[in-house]
Amino acid sequence: MAQLWGGRFTKETDKLVYDFNASISFDKRFYAQDIRGSIAHVTMLAGQNILTEEERDQIIEGLEDIRRDVENGELLITEEYEDIHSFVEANLIDRIGDVGKKLHTGRSRNDQVALDMKLYTRDEILELDRLLKSLLETLLHMMKEHTETYMPGFTHLQKAQPVTLSHHLGAYFEMFKRDRSRMKDIYRRMNTCPLGAGALAGTTYPLDREYTASLLEFDGPTLNSMDSVADRDYLIELLSAMSTVMMHLSRFSEEVIIWNSNEYQFVELDDAFSTGSSIMPQKKNPDIAELVRGKTGRVYGALMSLLTTMKGIPLAYNKDMQEDKELAFDAMDTTKGCLALFTGMLATMKFRKDRMADSAKHGFTNATDAADYLVNHGVPFRDAHGIVGQLVLYCIEKGKALDDLALEEYKAISPVFEDDIYEAVSMKTCVEMRNTIGAPGKAAMDKVIAQEEAYLIAE
Ligand code: ARG
């Protein structure tokens, strides 16, 4: 048991208490951020003549040696230390002696941990953004390929009107694009440096907080020392944004599962991205999509947990806040993993254009267009709606699609129909007539694709 305090204690910490309190098993993952923050701190301390230049250099060299030894496996981060901050400081003192004891001048673990978590989270946001961008690139590539792949669009999971696969995928493009912009917002809002806030009330040393902030690439220092050590808003925001990413991935997964079902057969999953059954030889299951859908609950859970943890905490730092880490780390790992796997699954998925077009044709997805045809020939829309309703009923009785009826059958229900009805209700016409901004027609879709392409180049 190695801890940084003990002077005012007359007894050893109870072993159970020590273990309950310790965080090294999970905060060891930000050793590099802890060392980076310490290097910036001593650089600033020397700049302010609080440390000499020799002391600064010795400490920095010691810290860099620790980082190197951890990275090449020579130094193990073991649980005999309470947390990563204790581990680094104790190792530094072992290596360079008494001068190492000056590292913590003008600093508390409260502002130190606030800094480490922000440094770690900033990198995670950039990685999440990179993964989202790669998903968007995959989507855009597929969108370009499928501007004329017709499929039914659904409402209430009932066939509604025909769309294209490009258009359907484009809906997800918009969702993940918004997710990226949320990442950017969070980064911008959180990018202030808490170091120098001390335990809660700043310090009596003449720290140059602006200098420390610039060394660590923050936009500036935080402006209230109590808030600096007590703020976890940015984690709640990130958990919320990741929950939204997961919600989008989960909806998409649900569609993949439906499309992959025996009844639909719109898609075929790549063998590398599906799994079999131990008993049923014929099975090829969409486990990746199911797991992504399932893991969404975990990320929502982390958001609810942290909101609940924070709600009763008086200012400033309280130990409750140590609970932020396992939650946030698990949610970050889960979201990143799901994004990477989902993108791989999507990129290797094959679409069965024949099944999709056939499904669109057989669900009366062109009924609205048949009604529009009548309207264009002078029939009021409400009457046209009724006439096409009768036609649909007739088709259901005969087991036919609108496209398959003879002109006499059309005329028996309304004399307004002429030969050009066939073109009016063809899948191609139904989609290609819809060309307002955001609609599935190829001309409209091509414009959107060009716009999204420019966005991916710019950002
Ligand atoms: N392990 C702690 C955490 O994650 C570090 C800060 C400890 N500060 C303290 N006063 N005990 O929050």
Domains of the chain and CATH, by start: 15-107 (1.10.275.10), 111-185+223-357 (1.20.200.10), 361-452 (1.10.40.30)
Name all residues whose Cβ lies below 6 A of ligand 1.
Answer: 23, 27, 83, 109-110, 113, 317, 319, 321-322
Q: Which residues are catalytic?
A: 156, 277
In angstroms, rounded to a whole number, what is the distance separating the alpha carbons of residues 347 and 138?
Answer: 6
Nearest CA to ligand 1 atom 11: 319
Q: Which atom of ligand 1 is nearest to the CA of 319?
A: 12
Q: pTM for the whole thing?
A: 0.94
Q: How far is the CA of 154 from the centre of ligand 1 (A)?
A: 51
Pocket test for ligand 1, best of 82, 319, 321, 323 (most atoms within 8 A of CB): 319
Residue 8 is predicted with a pLDDT of 79
Q: How far is the CA of 75 from the centre of ligand 1 (A)?
A: 23
What is the ipTM for the molecules in this complex? 0.96
Residue 363 is predicted with a pLDDT of 85
For residue 45, which of 229, 192, 212 has the smallest C-alpha distance?
212
Q: How far is the CA of 27 from the centre of ligand 1 (A)?
A: 10
Inter-CA distances, 10 with 2, 6, 13, 16, 80, Å: 16, 8, 9, 17, 20
Condensed to tens digits (0 to 9), the pLDDT of residues 252-266 reads 999 999 999 999 999
How many C-beta atoms lie closer than 10 Å to residue 385's C-beta? 16
Q: Which atom of ligand 1 is nearest to the CA of 117?
A: 4
Q: How far is the CA of 109 from the centre of ligand 1 (A)?
A: 6
Residue 278 is predicted with a pLDDT of 77
Residue 218 is predicted with a pLDDT of 98
**Residue ranges in the chain whose pLDDT is less than 70:** 1-2
